[in-house]
Amino acid sequence: MSSQSAQKHITLSTLNRIRADGRKFACLTAYDACFAGLLNDAGVEVILVGDSLGMVLQGHDNTLPVTMADMVYHVQCVKRGNSTAFLMADMPFMSYSSETETLENAAALMRAGAEMVKLEGGAWLASSTQLLAERGIPVCVHMGLTPQSINRIGGYLVQGRDPIQAENMVNEALQLQEAGASILLLECVPAALARRITETLDIPVIGIGAGADTTGQVLVLHDLLGISPIRPKFVKNFLAESDSGIAGAIKAYTDAVKGGTFPAAEHSFD
């Protein structure tokens, strides 16, 4: 019996139990069936089919050119190679700008194999979150540095350092939980703020550049392997330290997240 077939499929209930038990879970991006299988073998609980594919696969400067057709295609690819991980998919830029678009595009991703959709924004997403949740579509809301808003933000900048902005972020996170968000993802926020939000909410919180105290951690696969053109502070090249190639690097990341050794202080923001 293979290691994959011996494992049960991770569900949202599994992730909630991990949170309740005070444990950690690992999340990684994947965009094809081959890497989905490697992530399964390593014990990664959540696979994110991210619009980061626009940068690491398509060569764009940002995620904005990624289309719904791109996302559906890659979700289908990952679905075929995935047997154990919970599968989450990004809603790409402007795919949830109206109620009709939100429902149609989220449904397309779920039909392709996603088990949750991820939207970027703050409290303004409460109505969309409620709309989707009421119709049986689990929602992850991505807060902090939101790459789809990069032109408004003015760069890839840490969010929440200002006390007023931090307080607003806590309040907005609570509003989104109340609206029906099942997971919150925090990117590039001070570790202390991420800890506060994680302790305040009753749902799992995934961090990337958000310190070590969130329930889960996520990285872009290509960052973990050291082959991305951009290498942010919160990234660690696990392949450089691996004696077992790519599979070993993915397993090292997974073990480090679950063991609490990644991220370390040098991967976090004050």
CB 88 within 8 A of CB 47: yes
CA gap 4, 2 in Å, rounded: 5
* E runs forming strands in 190-255: 205-208, 216-219
> For position 154, what pLDDT does the model report?
80
> For position 240, what pLDDT does the model report?
95
List residues forming the annotated binding site for 3-methyl-2-oxobutanoate. Answer: 51-52, 90, 118
> For position 162, what pLDDT does the model report?
95
> For position 149, what pLDDT does the model report?
93
Please, is 141 exposed, middle or buried when counting C-beta atoms within 10 Å of its C-beta (0-12, 13-18, 19+)? buried
For the chain, what's the residue count?
270
Active site residues: 187
All structural domains of the chain, each given as residue ranges with its CATH number in brackets, are 12-267 (3.20.20.60)
pTM: 0.95
List residues forming the annotated binding site. Answer: 51-52, 90, 118, 120
CA distances from 263 to 105, 144, 215, 219 (A): 33, 17, 12, 10
Q: Which residues pair with 25 in a beta bridge?
A: 216
Note down pLDDT in tens along the chain; length 270 residues: 344 446 799 999 999 999 999 999 999 999 999 999 999 999 999 999 999 999 999 999 999 999 999 999 999 999 999 999 999 999 999 999 999 999 999 999 999 999 999 999 999 999 999 999 999 999 999 999 999 998 888 878 899 999 999 999 999 999 999 999 999 999 999 999 999 999 999 999 999 999 999 999 999 999 999 999 888 999 999 999 999 999 999 999 999 999 999 999 999 999
Which uninterrupted H or E stretch holds 113? none
* E runs forming strands in 54-180: 86-90, 116-120, 139-144
List residues forming the annotated binding site for Mg(2+). Answer: 51, 90, 120
> For position 32, what pLDDT does the model report?
98
> For position 1, what pLDDT does the model report?
38
* E runs forming strands in the chain: 25-29, 46-49, 86-90, 116-120, 139-144, 183-187, 205-208, 216-219
Straight-line distance from the first to the last Cα atom of the chain, in angstroms, rounded to the nearest whole number: 46
DSSP 123: G
